[in-house]
Amino acid sequence: MSLTRRRLVLSSTTLGALALAGRATAETARFPDRPITLIDPFAAGSNTDYFSRALGDELARLLGQPVIVDNRSGSGGALGAEAVARAKPDGYVLGLASVSTLVSNPAVNKSLRYDPLKDFAPVTTLVTLPSATVVPANSPIKSLPDLIKAARARPEAVSFASPGAGSAGHVLLEQFAHLAGVKFLHVPYRGSGAILNDLFGGQIEVASDNIPSLLPHIRSGRLRALAVRDVKRVSLLPEVPTFKELGFETISQPLWFGLVAPAATPRDVVKRLNEATLQAIRTPSFIQKTEAVAGTCTPSTPEQFQALIAQWLESFKKTVQVANITV
């Protein structure tokens, strides 16, 4: 190829790249110009659903476009997370991320079709949320020591529900059982609503879930809380001890939810989403809804969220190995 022709080809290639970059920049500048879908990996009425809808309302107002919550439950949140990972990376499909989807499921399930560190663009953490271990009010189990005693008397027979195999609830249940030296009959569900129905109906004996779905029933007296998972007692349930107080400090951390986009989402779009989301979770309305269920708003940068995911993933992988957790 002659020097002149080579220069023409290079010039054409450069102009094409510049044109594409210019078009991408223009599209980013208009973002968003159509509705956004927020995929929630758990069922409607679940704990994630509580926050995804609160967040969607605030983002719609701030971004000037509808935010449609799409509940895609199953496999401990893995189905919804995979849908986010496989979506077009343009900022119009987002995911409500949780410890279950980005940490516990990847730590347990080797056949997952997404990588929590490579297939997502973290936007920000949203909230931390305590959870509680509960039994029906008519249960003979009155305390966490009573639960341990019952499990020792009936090995692998005391039924204990979680929001799904590989979910954070599942891993933390198995970690608690390992530390206590007992074994439960693990019963996985697709969401909080089904757990509560069977708990009230007597089909299962014990459950652990985040506070939003449990709080009304604890307050009404239908459920008895044995312990809460948080670094300190929950202000809305001051009479309930923490796991730390009862000798289980390593499982006392509250869980978190966050917002993610597909990997390769343009950095400018991620930045725009981060800025809008930080505004959203600082609004009086969102803060009030969060505090009403004992949650805490936890804004972050994308980089801080990525570091948090990596840190928890490493910790859960060690737990899975030590407790020999499988799905």
pLDDT band of 110, cuts 50, 70, 90: confident
Please state, for a pLDDT cut of 70, what percent of the chain lies above it. 91
Reported confidence tier of residue 166, pLDDT bands at 50, 70, 90: confident
**CA separation for the pair 73, 164 (Å, rounded):** 10
Which pLDDT belongs to residue 324? 83
SS3 213: helix
* pLDDT tens digits along 1-52: 554 555 555 555 555 555 544 555 655 678 999 999 999 998 888 888 999 9
318 pLDDT above the threshold of 70: yes
Residue with tokens 């509560």: 196
Q: Is the pLDDT of residue 153 over 60?
A: yes
Single-letter amino acid, residue 251: I
Contacts of 58 by beta carbon, 8 Å cutoff, 6+ apart: 279, 280, 281, 283, 285, 286
Sequence-ordered list of residues with C-beta below 8 angstroms from that of 40, at least 6 positions apart, any chain: 46, 48, 49, 52, 69, 70, 71, 72, 80, 96
What are the tens digits of pLDDT across the range 260-307?
999 999 999 999 999 999 999 999 999 999 999 999 999 999 999 999
Residue pLDDT, tens place only, 174-221: 999 999 999 999 999 877 778 999 999 999 999 998 888 899 999 999
Task: Please state, rounded to an integer, the average pLDDT across all residues of the chain.
Answer: 91
Rounded Cα–Cα distance for residues 17 and 20 (Å):
5
